[in-house]
Amino acid sequence: MSEVKFYGADWCSDCRRSKALLNAEGVEFELKDVEQDAALADEAEAIAGRKNIPVIQFADGAVLVEPSDDELRAALGERGLI
């Protein structure tokens, strides 16, 4: 299992920004496209408690919803992923 699950959609600017940061930092993640699969959208909403994306879930169970770059970078650093 990937250390990072990423629920998002191509049209979402926050998703594109967070994906770019993960890619720039060399962090592997499992992409779950909520636009292509309604079940994934439901899964993301259940995890986040709301409909906002991206939803980024870590292997330790921690979840970020629409994080800023600084929040995402800090969460990755705390888990030794960067």
Backbone angles phi, psi at 59, to 5 degrees: -60, -25
Average pLDDT across the chain, whole number: 96
Question: Where do the structural domains in the chain lie, given as residue ranges?
Answer: 15-53
Give the residue-averaged pLDDT of 71-79. 98
Express each pLDDT in 8-36 by its tens digit.
Answer: 999 999 999 999 999 999 999 999 999 99
Share above pLDDT 70 across residues of the chain, in percent, rounded to a whole number: 99
- Whole-model pTM: value is 0.95
Distance CA 39, CA 14 (A): 21
